[in-house]
Chain A
Amino acid sequence: MTRNMNRFVRLSLVLAWFASLLAAGQNASKNSLDFPSNITGQLTKVPEGVVLVKGARPSASDSVTPVPEGGNVTDNVFTNKYFGMTYSLPPDWRQKYEGPPPSDSGRYVLAQITPADTFKGPARGNILITAQDTFFSPLPTADAGELINFEKDNLQADYKVELPPTQMKVADRSFTFFAYWSPVAELHWYVLATDMRCHALQIVLSSRDTKLLENLTLDLNRMKLPPEAGVAAGVGGDAVPACIQDYARDENIIAKVNPVFTEHRFNPVPVRIIIDKEGKIKHIHLVSAFPDQAKAITDALRQWKFRRYLQDGQPAEVETGIMFGQVSQSPGHPAEKAVTQ
């Protein structure tokens, strides 16, 4: 235990030192699709390994505005434009499999990074990058810090806390760091979480090799992330809209048309919208919806009109969330919260 604590004190010191360094910028090019959606029409054979009949999936009203699930790994660099995140993978690591589509509770698997066959080391490991949309989380957590504390307070009996939630800087940004391990599996988890655009962004490192985990944690300082404060962090402005919980409440809505669903379904349909400075919806992101639901909701939302959102007396864009469909769980977070990172 003492040895573990010493290791974390050492790790924290190194992290603090690294935090003063600027992460190296990385460029990425557009990735190819692993799940092509354009294979239709007459074929001679059904292609192997292609999911053509999909359940609820994400979609958006335009293909230009970045969405959380739009990240990719190209040339060993993970890029996510929505979160403004770039991460050059460690040598001999790669993304073998893409993650599942976002869930109807607003959870994203942004990247799953594992050792390549060329990896040399005493143990394998995982780098899992996820995001939980705090607008739709069924957990009683409003931000990344609360989420980590909730995880710690509800840790299942298989695990032991190695380091309770602690604030630290990674890539010049505040993260909540939490470590636990499984004595039986001898697996260790390092969890780092930060708030970005009303999402709790989590980086989960796991391995039996704690030295590897320390190195991976330090390596995260090479990430390029948006500044903690300022327009790119989500507080509003020209680059990224302000994100506000429950902005789509009645007193802010001038015109509203309910979607007309053609099929009776029972899934929750979380939707993120961006409202322009004039109060019109400029972007609709259906986090998880069937195509018929997506169309009905998009057709309805295009007719909605909001009061203009003023930030420091000036009209500003707003990003908010609306839950359509059947809500099977009540959100545990406060009904309204303006998140300013």
Chain B
Amino acid sequence: MIKREKLTLALMLAALFLAGMAFAQTDPGVQSASRGTGVTIINPSDDPNGFTAFFNDGLNRFQEVETVSGSANVGLGPRFNSNQCSSCHAQPAVGGTGAAVNPQFLFTSNGVAPGNTMPSFITPNGPTREARFPFGFNSNGTVNTNVIIGGVEDLFTVTGRSDAGTCNSATALPQPSFALAVEENNVIFRIPTPTFGAGLIENLDDSTLLKNQAANLKNNFGITGTFNHNGNDSTIARFGWKAQNKSLHLFSGEAYNVEMGITNEVFQNERPLPGEDGNGGTGDTGLIASCLNLAGVGYPEDTSNPNSTPNAAVLDDVSAFANFMRFLAPPPPGGVVLNGQQVSASAISAGSALFSSIGCATCHNPTPGTTQQSNFVPALSNAQVNAFSDIEIHTMGNTLADNVSQGGAGGDQFRTAPLWGLGQRIFLLHDGRTTNLITAIEDHASHGSEANTVIENFKSLSSTQQQEVLDFLRSL
């Protein structure tokens, strides 16, 4: 009798479990069908100043492989994360975010960084990453949380490369202590931000963003964002995971120097690691002399090219990169396939309405505004910006916090990530910790997060409604 009751109970539980599975929501995942992402926003027939040529020139340079010395594209290193912009900004097209296969994982075997040890957090199919140490280390290897660092620790050095010249000693130019940093939980990661539509975000007027901020304060979700500001002119900064960069020019110049080690007209000096500037507790100061001016061309390694033709070629690389990103069209939305079935347009539409109703759109503002008149191209003028971001920084709680401060953003504050193009992103959140949209949503809730009430609203939806929200997000 008891056995029969147990069996009945087990069958009932199994039935409930299966029923739950039938209604459980699923991230439709990365949408593989081409949506035409990666083209220019410029209408060639309405390009009075000829900027299409500058876009194409920037696109080419974005894909150039840089070397340390001895080629047409020199200046790489002495430290770097990659040797090509498009190796990191690749998904789903040039200018995007990290690809499914991480090119960094091959660098120790394909000659890009032969004298290096692959950090444990760089894996063949994991996210393309940069690493930062939030805090300094004491000389005995313990973490000192009184020493706040947070700068990028480049993964690789030029050691072992045939073009590295006098800078070829792993002792003289060691990799940062990644194994120790992992062991002591003193490392955080960032993945590449996609740059599609960046020219539209750049051309949003500050006053438009300020009006949005004021209008949003009436929300009943407990959300109150603020802005990160450029330290020079105090205007609203808007690029990077913490909105730490004011312009695409600055964004390009910083990345060229920090991610590839190429000095340029914006950042003219080789960059010692944070631990080499005397603040890291190691006592080291600066880069060794044998690792300076490896390209042999002097500084900055990237300059404008006055004698070149056509006119687009006169620009320095940083300006060319900025133009490429500026003129990249926003990623078009598209259909969604879930478990081999096309999701209906009505479900996506319902998801859009739910997304707004439960409060997601308070920060992930579908349309933060219309651009001001552009002096570049008509396509950037008076254009609706469907970025799904308010460009504000928000306090996101201890689950997402990375203990890195940039400008006015603290260790738990992040810019509202623009969601356009989300349907074709593989790795999610600032550090690429998940590929699952549901996990990414849930991680918005934690102690100290502005999103807690909104996430609770999401949980209060029916399974069908939650699925519609997920479907909608993958349509972006």
Contacts and interface: CB of A to CB of B under 8 A. Distances in A.
Contacts of B447: 34-35, 49, 97-98
B46 interface: no
Contact of B185 (A42, A46, A57, A109): A46
B97 interface: no
A267 B357 contact: no
A43 interface: yes
Interface in A36-70: 39-57
A138 B214 contact: yes
Nearest to B469: A185
Contacts of A191: 220
Interface in B101-160: 134-135, 138, 142-146, 148, 150
Contacts of A53: 134, 148, 150, 403-405, 410-411
A237 interface: no
A43 B222 contact: no
Interface centre among A100, A104, A105 (most CB of B within 10 A): A100
B447 to A, nearest CB: 5
Nearest to A332: B214
Interface stretch (A122-130, A168-176, A273-281): A122-130
Interface string B188-230: 0000000000000000000000100111011011101111010
A294 B276 CA distance: 31
Interface in A201-248: 202, 204, 206-208
Given A42-B142, A159-B357, A185-B358, A101 B453 contact: no
A167 interface: no
Interface stretch (B29-37, B419-427, B454-462): B454-462
A314 interface: no
Category for how many chain B residues contact A: 35 or more
Given A46-B134, A55-B395, A55-B410, A185 B143 contact: no
Interface string A177-204: 0000010110101010000000000101
Given A97-B445, A158-B353, A267-B408, A185 B465 contact: yes
Contacts of A99: 222, 448, 450, 452
A100 B210 contact: no
Contact of B461 (A125, A130, A185): A185
Interface string A87-104: 000000000011111011
Given A130-B222, A154-B215, A202-B220, A52 B460 contact: no
B48 interface: no
A123 B459 CA distance: 10
Nearest to A209: B460
A128 B220 contact: yes
Given A56-B408, A158-B353, A187 B143 contact: no
A290 B394 CA distance: 16
Contacts of A326: 229, 234
A185 B412 contact: no
Given A41-B146, A97-B447, A204-B220, A184 B457 contact: no
B96 interface: no
Nearest to B412: A51
Contacts of B398: 35, 49-51
B457 A206 contact: yes
Nearest to B214: A138
A187 B358 CA distance: 8
A112 B410 CA distance: 22
Contacts of B183: 45
B211 to A, nearest CB: 9
Contact of A46 (B135, B413, B452): B135
Interface of B: 134-135, 138, 142-146, 148, 150, 183-186, 210, 213-215, 217-218, 220-222, 224-227, 229, 231, 234, 350, 353-354, 356-358, 394-395, 397-399, 401, 403-405, 408-413, 445-450, 452-453, 456-457, 459-461, 465
Given A48-B185, A184-B353, 18 more contacts: A42-B144, A43-B145, A46-B135, A46-B186, A49-B447, A51-B403, A53-B134, A53-B411, A97-B397, A97-B446, A107-B217, A112-B452, A150-B218, A185-B357, A185-B461, A185-B465, A187-B358, A207-B460
9 contacts: A45-B183, A51-B448, A53-B405, A100-B224, A103-B224, A130-B222, A150-B218, A187-B357, A264-B231
What 6 pairs between A and B have smallest CB-CB spacing?
A: A55-B410, A53-B411, A103-B224, A266-B229, A182-B357, A185-B357
